[in-house]
Chains A and B, each alone.
Chain A
Amino acid sequence: QVQFVESGGGVVQPGRSLRLSCAVSGVTFSNHGMHWVRQAPGKGLEWVAFIWSDGSNKYYVDSVKGRFTISRDNSENILYLQMNSVTAEDTAVYYCTRDRAKDYFDYWGQGTLVTVSS
């Protein structure tokens, strides 16, 4: 069956780095763009980053540009989010989700919680 499994979350100090992973199975990973979407505690959804199926193009919300990097390994079916210089505002559950036609998100992982705290 289709599975999107995020990992790598945890407690991180402000200014430090963290790398999230999303292991995908049950779909042809290399055929689709992928996104990261986050949700701060008690808040709504926020789109964070998008990467094309071949990894050639990447897009970010303004608040993470220059700090976060989305990447993928199509040989291993894994999506990554490298988070540098994190701040308290980055505290959220991070979801990986599959892109459909640069339009909507169909499959979602269960999310991984990142807490930025000293």
Chain B
Amino acid sequence: QSALTQPRSVSGSPGQSVTISCTGTSNDVGGSDYVSWYQQHPGKAPKLMIYDVTKRPSGVPDRFSGSKSGNTASLTISGLQADDEADYYCCSCAGSILWVFGGGTKLTVL
């Protein structure tokens, strides 16, 4: 099972919006509503930000939103803040009890 494809890096200025894509296949992202996103600050554990493509756990700001079209899922962060600077990973349950992550995207807040 290959990793999901994410851009290596994205950037934006405070207050702007950025979108991170996550491309898989019909066997994972395209064929499943089980797409989740994780934020990871340097030296810290990952934190769940989005699950089931669009749902936000309690405590995650509504500036974070998820969507999906075909084999590509997306995470959009609006109203960028300095603390949003982190690595972001998508994940999909690829069926047959197998989870696959994206390669990760480094978000830089300019």
A97 to B48, CA, bound (A): 11
Instruction: Report whether over half of chain A's contact residues are helix, strand or loop; otherwise say mixed.
Output: strand
CB A107 to nearest CB in B, in angstroms, measures 8
Indicate if the CB atoms of B45 and A103 lie closer than 8 Å.
no
Known contacts A103-B34, A104-B36; is-contact A45 B46 (Cβ 8 Å): yes
Chain A residues near B103 (CB-CB < 8 A): 44
Instruction: Report whether over half of chain B's contact residues are helix, strand or loop; otherwise say mixed.
Output: strand
Chain B residues near A57 (CB-CB < 8 A): 97
Query: What is the chain A residue whose CB lies nearest that of B32?
Result: A103
Chain B residues near A97 (CB-CB < 8 A): 46
Indicate if the CB atoms of B57 and A106 lie closer than 8 Å.
yes
Among the 9-residue stretches A14-22, A79-87, A108-116, the one with 4 or more Cβ atoms under 8 Å from chain B is A108-116
A37 to B40, CA, bound (A): 14
0/1 per residue, B68-110, Cβ < 8 Å to A? 0000000000000000000001010100011111111000000
Chain B residues near A50 (CB-CB < 8 A): 97, 99
Interface size on B, residues (CB 8 A): 24
Contact of A95 among B34, B46, B98, B100 (CB under 8 A): B46
Indicate if the CB atoms of A47 and B100 lie closer than 8 Å.
yes
Chain B residues near A103 (CB-CB < 8 A): 34, 36, 51-52, 93
Indicate if the CB atoms of A104 and B48 lie closer than 8 Å.
yes
CB A62 to nearest CB in B, in angstroms, measures 8
A47 to B99, CA, bound (A): 6
Indicate if the CB atoms of B48 and A44 lie closer than 8 Å.
no
Interface residues in chain A, defined as those with a beta carbon under 8 Å from any beta carbon in chain B: 35, 37, 44-47, 50, 57, 59, 61, 95, 97, 100, 102-106, 108-111
The 3 closest A-B pairs by CB, nearest first: A104-B36, A47-B99, A108-B45
Q: List 26 A-B contacts (CB under 8 A).
A: A35-B99, A37-B46, A44-B89, A44-B101, A44-B104, A45-B38, A45-B40, A45-B46, A45-B101, A45-B104, A47-B100, A47-B101, A50-B99, A57-B97, A59-B97, A59-B98, A95-B45, A97-B46, A103-B34, A104-B51, A104-B91, A105-B36, A105-B46, A106-B51, A108-B46, A109-B45
